[in-house]
Structure 1
Amino acid sequence: MKLRKIVYGMLCMGALASCSDQMNYHEYNNYDEDFVKLNFSNVGGLITTIYLDLDTDFGNYSGAILGSATDESQYAYTGNSIETFYNGSWSPTNAQSGTWSTCYSGISNCNLFLDKYVGLTFPELEQNADYKPQMFRYNNYQYEVRFLRAYFYFNLVRQYGDVPFIDHFLSADESNTLSRTPAKDIFDYIISECDDIKDLIIEDYANLPADVVLPSESPETGRVNKATVLALKARAALYAASPLFNTDNNPELWHRAATANKELLDYCVNERGMKLVSDYASLWDKNNYKNATDELIFGRRANRESSTMESYNYPVGIEGGNGGNCPTQNLVDAYETTDGYDVRLVNGAWIADGSRVFDKAKPYDNRDPRLRMTICVNEETGWPTWNEGTIYTYQGGANGQPLNGGTPTGYYLKKYCQGDIDLRSNSTNKSAYHTWITYRLGEFYLNYAEAVFRYLGSADATDAEFTMSARQAASMTREREGVGMPAFPLNMSNDAFWEAYKKERMVELAFEGHRFWDVRRWKEADKYFVNIEGLQISKTGDNTAYSYATVVNTRQWDDKMYLFPIPQSERMKNPNLSQNPGW
């Protein structure tokens, strides 16, 4: 058996990582099975290769993020491949199929490890001083790999629905005879795998028994552990219960989702002492792997320093900035006033009926604090942190249209950008590590709220099993210290709560890769993904005031797009692959 690539070194990648910024990966090509079995490092190399297939999105579409195919943002440049999702060019021959190839490559490597490299004892290394701790890690690899395989299947099923299922290593010829396994069975498999390994995998790399700690290393807390396994199970259960997959609204699937998310919350909060962090922006800060561990469950940390996220998204008009993914007015409208009222632009005038704190002359003041942590607005100062000027996004402003790349929406993106990365030519701080948030506690309060609401039937309902109501759970992210938004009120109608919940989820999880999939699993894309709003800001009068107008960008939507097309290239190799409806 030949391996095309083995990459190994210290894996330093995750939400809880407490490790050196020096990550030296070494690549070895075309070594056979005997080489992999030679020592711990070589086996670990295969594991690292699999970890590197975990997904991130710091601009996967030539700078555009998946959020720019939703109502979160609009990419500033036309002709980008992100437009495929809404301009009518999406098809089986233009399938946007990177997830298919990446996930099946990862699954193949997982199956290879589980078939070939479990049960080794390395007898020639028994006399080494580190033999016991190394064997301890090696024996845990099989559970990490089973998680990773389930993770890849989750990414596939949410994107394609029914997909081919493989749980052992196959040749390419054998793989190309498989038919698609129903999505329900894939979800059941993911949840079953998580249940099987949750009490077998290492619980916490930061608290290992003393006799298995390697004296020369920092804790490998960026690796998969019990909390990560429970997080995958909880998210998979929510998706399986959602309308896209739960077509007959089976209440038992909502019960399973509520139970799984409660299990995760109970474990993280009661056993691990985790909580929502008080500094919301620390969740994506370059030091989140050590400063936001109260909330972060798992993250995929980049294996090298970069500044591409900043270069893509810093405002046009400052050195090194290219505009990029510009938050929409749809998203900005989701941020309430600090006393909990909606803000809207009506006939050119800002209104927030009922609010005692809103000033229509300063429409971004006294808003949910997460707005200014996520989005750069007109007249913003201190963004990026080294910028001594003011950001002006109005028409003709220093950072607005008609500059090439000037924001088409009136806003620029801050979230996931490290504001101290200085792209000026004389800077010595031009790059940093970035961590993609895979799982964090805030998501699972919201997941729980959605599942309990659907299962018990109202926002305030509780029972002996679910003692926290959907309203209480959905209020947690709003009420976090440092945000301080008011809790959702008692006695909301079901329709009112559902709309408020979706808005809170959009705000809390903005640009973390959820919106594209949430709206699809709810089957509400025709409501949210067609009319994408931006803001045209103009100077008025003596140039001391502004006028505002909503600009609507209409996108195409067809219900077949709830699922991706099966790539035609794959169907040509495998005649047993059926196509998704409408494609």
Structure 2
Amino acid sequence: MRSLIKIVLTIIVSISLYGCQKYLDVVPDNIATMDDAYKDRVSAQRALATCYNQIPRNGTRYDPGFAAGDDLWIHQFIDGGAQERWRQYYRELAINGNNVTRPLYSYWHNIEGGSALWKAIRDCNTFIANVHKARDLDSFEREKWIAEVKTLKAYYHFYLMQLYGPIPIARENIPATAPSEELMVYREPIDEVVAYIVQLLDEAIPNLDLEVDNSVSDAGRITRPVAAAIKTKVLVTAASPFFNGNQDYANMIDKRGIVLFNPVEDPNKWILAAEAAQEAIDIAHEAGIRLYHHQTTFNVSNETLGVIQVGQIIADKFNEERIWSLSDFNSSSPNLQDLGLELRTIPRLHADHQNIVYQWFIPTLKMAELFYSNNGVPIEEDVDYAYDDRMTLTFVPADQEAYMQPGYRTIGLHLNREPRFYGSLGVDGGWWFGLGRTDENAQWPLNLRAKSMTGGMIGNQRYSTTGYYIKKLSNYRSAYTGKDAYVGMRFDFPLFRLADLYLLRAEALNESLSSPDANVYHYIDLIRQRAGLSGVVDSWTQHSRFPQKPTTKEGMREIIHQERNIELAFEGQRFWDLRRWKKSIQYMNQPVRGWNIAGETPQEFYQVITHNRSQYTLRDILWPIMQDEMLRNTNLLQNPGW
């Protein structure tokens, strides 16, 4: 898909995704008539690319799901020039909260880090209404393109719904010459928004290809598995507590007297979501999509292979688990407007690296505590894990050599953890495989204390503010090659992968039953097996203080939630999951914690430091609509608290 867009943009004028744009941003040959804009296949393809080219930039600082949650933290730039160039929307949101004057991450208004999704929807409507005019476009390809655009239109509506809750439904474009009362649209009830999104996807799915013709040139194009995955996510979101019977918004009643949030829970929504998830899984399997298992030519142990596999699930560009992913936005080139995730997350491992890494997106201590013990259960539940001593200094024993440096002084929290812990996080006393070192016996050692090579600060910009790094979002085949020299393996950031669908299926099925059955355990156990862990029932029976936990609906709900947060850590999912589970206020108000990065000794470093963030209340969950928009359209109802 990105290749399609690149080809198209070499023909038309350069288009800014985040500046002011006209109603139709592709008018070929400078002829401002709709007939000429869709006169042939080439013209229609340009319009198709415009619809695609407005997909929100997941995995970047423009993505609230990735950057605005409680799993990451970032220091504040002191340098004015860097602050101006790399606007820290996520930090502004965390420190000051949002506002109605110029809302941050405003995907309604195309400002402050957001993009114009209503314009994207208008472009989709224009395409659907006019693509039949292309004289040399055969009916098969035309119907496929329409299906792709309907899927994009559904996705854009869903993205807005996640941010704002009830939204207007843009079934067709309103003519600019329409009476003013037609332009004064209303927000529609959540249930109607969901029904319309699902309708679009149901119309699209039969006409989509099962898989793309060319995995390189067509990467990112909408396929049947993509549309089915979006439908699953929509229905699971609609069935979740925030959107299903949420009485916190029972008073959201517009001037028509219409209740926008149904305060009565509908259990049947979980049944529909479970059915959609199974259908999406079946379609994905039919397309050859499978859980990824990394194979390497390097001579490494199973333990090291399990660690590097965690990152390769994301960073192996063409792995078989991906359902939908986006390229270009994660380029590793330091000369591009948006530096790649690797350079924003990896540490400096040598003095030659300090001018090339940026170390911006940093995991919090909360995430280090989240992962399971090596027995596959929460560390606070594990009967064999010394939970009360987790913050106590200790030396790394020889039997932990695969994951930590023997003899290094660390804390119990970093020992006896599951492989995904070591594959997702760079921790003090751990190893870093790759980045130029692929000999298992000569990995990069991590010392994250002050005045060490990988710890402390470089000036006031480049450092980990918590004493951890994200290892998961880098490809071990990328390499430092000399002073300020780096060769990155480009990868696409996943919007959907198969493990996500497996977890959504397990969640929806568990919620639709009175108690979990083997089908609920099945898909979670497949993911745990890949991670080197035993199944849920066996793990809890043998190692948890609550051995019956997986046998109850409530207990299994907790397990599924934690499994999602672990498996999909740092992939932009936690922010949305906490919101739909109605856990945002609970978790976003917890202290942002890390270690004392100014500490030079173990005793000094392992002191918990708390970082300040604004209080998170009910009003902060749904984004505000800009005040100017409310003045222009008095039929709109503002979200509570704004």
TM-score over 0.5 (shorter chain)? yes
Alignment of 1:275-290 (within 5 A): 275-279=290-294, 280-285=310-315, 287-288=316-317, 290=318
- Rounded to whole Å, the distance in 1 between the matches of 2:449 and 2:2 is 48
Structure 2 match to 1:313? 345
CA positional deviation for 1:419:
4.8
Question: Partner of 1:399: helix, strand, or coil?
Answer: coil
Which residue identity does 1:501 align to in structure 2? I
- Whether 2:520 is the aligned partner of 1:470: answer yes
Alignment-mate amino acid for residue 628 of structure 2:
S
TM-score for the superposition, normalised by structure 2: 0.74
1:103 maps onto 2:110 in alignment: no
Give the counterpart letter for 1:106 in structure 2.
A
1:328 to 364, 387, 391: 364
Distance in structure 1 (CA, Å) of the matches to 2:579 and 2:494: 20
Q: Any unmatched runs of 5+ in structure 1? A: 1-7, 14-21, 123-130, 208-216, 462-467
Q: CA–CA distance in 1 between the matches of 2:167 and 2:71?
A: 29
Deviation at 1:510, TM superposition (A): 1.2
How far apart are residue 206 of structure 1 and its match? 3.3
Worse-matched range after superposition: 152-161 or 196-205: 196-205
SS of match in other structure, 1:178: coil
The answer as to 2:101 corresponding to 1:90 is no
Matched, 1:376 2:426: yes
Q: Report the secondary structure of 1:439's partner residue.
A: strand
Alignment correspondent of 2:595:
535
Structure 1 Cα separation of the partners of residues 593 and 133 of structure 2 = 57
Query: TM (normalized to structure 1)?
Result: 0.81
Of residues 250, 271, 288, the one that matches 1:255 is: 271
| Equivalent residue, structure 2, for 1:165 | 169
SS in 1 for 2:414: coil
Q: Which residue of 1 aligns with 2:235?
A: 237
Match of 2:607 among 543, 549, 563: 549
Q: Deviations over 1:137-184 (max 9, x none)?
A: 333111111111001000011111111111112345757411111121
Match in the other structure for 1:73: 72
Partner SS, residue 54 of structure 2: coil
CA distance in 1, matches of 2:565, 2:366: 10
After superposing the two structures, state which structure 1 stretch, 341-350 or 101-110, moved more.
Answer: 341-350
Give, in whole Å, the separation in 1 of the partners of 2:94 and 2:486: 37
Cα distance between partner residues in 2 of 1:12 and 1:366: 47
Per the alignment, do residues 76 and 539 of structure 1 end up closer, same or farther by CA in structure 2, a change over 3 Å counting? closer
| Higher mean displacement: 331-340 or 271-280 | 271-280
1:225: how far off?
A: 1.2
By how many angstroms is 1:507 displaced? Answer: 1.0
Query: Distance in 2 between the 1:579 and 1:149 partners?
Result: 24
Aligned to 2:532: 484
Deviates more, 1:233-242 or 1:249-258: 249-258
**Residues 456 and 597, structure 2, Cα contact 8 Å, conserved in 1:** no
Secondary structure of residue in 2 paired with 1:117 = helix
Residues 346-387 of structure 1 show CA distances to partners (whole Å, capped at 9, x for unaligned) of 583279xxxx98997675354222223222112344466137
Residue 401 of structure 1 contacts residue 407 of structure 1 at CA under 8 Å; is this kept in 2?
A: yes
Change over 3 Å in CA distance of 1:538–1:256 after alignment to 2: same
Deviations 1:188-241 (A, max 9, x none): 11112212221122233339xxxxxxxxx9673531111111111100000000
Aligned match of 2:251 = none
Counterpart residue number, 1:342: 378
Matches within 5 A, 1:144-183: 144-171=148-175, 176-183=183-190
CA contact under 8 A between 1:65 and 1:325: conserved in structure 2? no
* 3-state SS, counterpart of residue 204 of structure 1: coil
1:391-430 matches, within 5 Å, as: 391-403=446-458, 404=460, 405-421=462-478, 430=487
Structure-2 change in CA distance of 1:9 and 1:205 (3 Å)? closer
CA change 1:93–1:423 in 2 (3 A) is: farther
Whether the 8 Å CA contact 1:68–1:75 is kept in 2: the answer is no
* One-letter amino acid matched to 2:135: T
Query: Counterpart of 1:118 in 2: which secondary structure?
Result: helix
Going from structure 1 to structure 2, the CA distance change for 1:46 and 1:315 (only over 3 Å counts) comes to same
Distance 1:206 1:55, change over 3 A: same
Deviation at 1:242, TM superposition (A): 0.7
Q: 2: distance between equivalents of 1:529 and 1:303?
A: 27
Q: Name the residue aligned to 2:130.
A: 116
Q: Is the 2:624–2:639 Cα contact (8 Å) retained in structure 1? A: yes
Distance 1:374 1:173 in 2: 54
Kindly indicate whether the alpha-carbon contact (under 8 Å) linking 1:375 and 1:414 is maintained by their aligned counterparts in 2.
Answer: yes
Q: Higher mean Cα deviation, 275-284 or 358-367?
A: 358-367
- More deviation, 342-351/223-232: 342-351
Could you tell me which residue of structure 1 aligns to residue 193 of structure 2? 186
Contact 1:47-1:141 within 8 A present in 2 as well: yes
**Deviation string, structure 1 residues 244-268 (Cα, Å, up to 9, x no partner):** 1101331111111111111111222
Change in 2 beyond 3 A, CA 1:397/1:429: closer
Q: How far does the alpha carbon of each residue in 1:75-96 deviate from its partner, in whole angstroms, 9 at most, with x for none?
A: 1226832133333441111312
549-558 vs 146-155, greater mean Cα deviation: 549-558
- Matched residue of 1:11: which SS? helix
| Aligned counterpart, 1:302 | 328
Query: Does 240-249 or 406-415 show the bigger shift?
Result: 406-415
**Out of 624, 627, 630, which is 1:565 matched to?**
624
Distance 2:606 2:200 in 1: 53
Give the SS at the match of 2:95: coil
Equivalents in 1 of 2:454, 2:388: separation in Å?
A: 22
Deviation larger for 147-156 or 443-452: 443-452
- The number of aligned residues is 527
CA distance in 2, matches of 1:447, 1:512: 15
Distance 1:274 1:312 in 2: 29
**Distance 1:475-1:534 versus aligned 2 partners, 3 A rule:** farther
CA RMSD, 1 decimal:
3.3
- State the alpha-carbon separation in 1 of the partners of residues 610 and 525 from structure 2: 31
Moved more, 179-188 or 390-399: 390-399
Contact 1:76/1:323, CA 8 A, preserved across alignment: no
The answer to whether the 8 Å contact 1:311/1:423 transfers is no
CA contact (8 A) 2:100 2:624 kept: yes
- Mark the CA change 1:152 to 1:26 in structure 2 (over 3 Å): closer, same or farther: same
Question: For residues 508 and 136 of structure 1, what CA distance do their matches in structure 2 show?
Answer: 39
Letter in 2 for 1:230: A
- Native 8 Å contact 1:400 1:410 kept in 2: yes
- Contact preservation (8 Å) 1:538, 1:547: yes
Measure the CA separation in 2 of the matches of 1:244 and 1:88.
Answer: 24
> Post-superposition shift, 1:65?
6.5
User: Equivalent pairs: percent with the same residue?
Assistant: 23
* Matched residue, 1:18: none
The whole-number CA distance in structure 1 between the counterparts of 2:525 and 2:610 is 31
Deviation string for 1:490-541 (max 9, x for gaps)? 642444332222221111111211111111111112321122222337878x
Structure 2 vs 1, CA of residues 304 and 272 (structure 1 numbering), >3 Å: closer, same or farther? closer
Aligned to 1:125: none
Aligned match of 1:140: 144
1:274 to 289, 312, 323: 289
Alignment partner of 2:73: what SS?
Answer: strand
Q: State the AA in 1 paired with 2:313.
A: L
